[in-house]
Structure 1
Amino acid sequence: MDALELLTTRRSNKKLVAPAPNKEQLEQIFQAALRTPDHGKLKPYRFVVIADKGLIKLANALTQVATDLNLDNKQFSKIDKICASPMVIAVVAKLDPKVDKVPEWEQLVAAGCATYGIQLAAQSLGFDNVWITGKWAGGDALRQTLNCTEQEKIVALLLIGTAENEKLERDSKTADTQDFVSYL
């Protein structure tokens, strides 16, 4: 699959099973993430790979967040779905307000680009994934589990694995860009 085909057929998939990327594949994935746009070469992000027993810790943290935020039963039920994924990669933005040259918002965008780099690299290696955040991302229990400092923000929980249904077709529809593009 060439790069343009990857970009135009990428899709999210929540129905994931093992296997997840192995150590060598993760290295390739993270190398791709480190090549995304990054003004000032700050690398304002870090990645936390969550698998095996780590998924139990993640489930405990998400349960605590759901309790703390008084989320409804629908949100609680999502915890099992999230942690049923064979691997989750948390992306944490390391924001430094003291860098005059690169404002915090731009550092956050760089972390988002790195997240997308992970998604595309995983997809190119044959792994499906989905990027989730929601109310979980600001929860104290999750922040503590991921060892977040006060300046850090959780940008994504990327669920990564193999598509449960191999026959899932890529959406090949061409999007209408008219509402999104203008010319000056």
Structure 2
Amino acid sequence: MDALTLLLTRQSCPRLIAPAPSEAQLKVILDAAARVPDHGGLTPWEFIIATGEGLNRLADVFVAAATEAGEDDDFIAKAGNMPLRAPMVITVVAKTRSDIKKVPELEQQLAAGCAVMAMQQAAFAQGLGGIWRTGNFAFDETVNTALGLEVTDQIVGFLYLGTPAIDMPLKPQKDGSAFARYL
């Protein structure tokens, strides 16, 4: 698939099954993330990969966070199943530095967001499926603590990856010029 076709037909795939990306596919995915725009070469990101038993550990983290937040039993049970919706979940964390004045923290967070997009595109280019999710757990102190994050770190997404369980119908093409204007 050529790059423009990939960009113009990209869509999320929420129904994912095994196998997860292979070691070689994962290397391509991570290498694509490392190529995103990165003002100052700060590499302001971390990728926490969960597969196998790691998915169960991430589920335990989500259950603890939901319990700590006082969620009802139904939501707590749902939280425990969230990481199990794919054979691999990569938590992408923006690890910003406030001491680098020429690169605002927002720009560093955006670079981490670009890394998620590059990872998803690299997965699609290799015939895999994925979906970028956030939700309350991306902003939860219990989750951050359990994952060993610093106070200044920000989860920018959970990238669920695997083999598409279904053929997703292609969404209608959006006209990008409808969102543009000239000065």
TM-score, length-normalised on structure 2?
0.93
Report what 1:57 is aligned to.
57
What CA deviation, in whole Å up to 9, does each residue of 1:9-44 have, x standing for no partner?
111111100011111111111111111111111100
Instruction: Give the Å deviation of 1:179.
Output: 3.6
- Correspondence 1:1-184 to 2 at 5 A: 1-72=1-72, 73-74=74-75, 76-165=77-166, 167-171=167-171, 173-184=172-183
Unmatched tracts of structure 2, length 5 or more: none
Instruction: Give the Å deviation of 1:75.
Output: 6.8
Q: Aligned to 1:7, what secondary structure does the other structure show?
A: helix
Q: Tell me the amino acid that sits aligned with residue 175 of structure 1.
A: K
> How many pairs are equivalent?
182
Contact 1:58/1:83 (8 A) holds in 2 = no
What CA deviation, in whole Å up to 9, does each residue of 1:114-145 have, x standing for no partner?
11110100110111111111111122332123
- The root-mean-square deviation of aligned C-alpha atoms, in Å, is 1.5
Unmatched tracts of structure 1, length 5 or more: none
Moved more, 10-19 or 64-73: 64-73
- Work out the CA distance in 2 between the residues paired with 1:112 and 1:41: 15
Contact 1:65/1:139 (8 A) holds in 2 = yes
How has the CA–CA distance of structure 1 residues 116 and 75 changed in structure 2, closer, same or farther, with 3 Å as cutoff? Answer: farther
Instruction: Give the Å deviation of 1:178.
Output: 4.4
Q: Tell me the amino acid that sits aligned with residue 87 of structure 1.
A: M
Instruction: Give the Å deviation of 1:81.
Output: 3.8
- Work out the CA distance in 1 between the residues paired with 2:63 and 2:75: 12
- Work out the CA distance in 2 between the residues paired with 1:132 and 1:108: 16
- Work out the CA distance in 1 between the residues paired with 2:181 and 2:77: 42
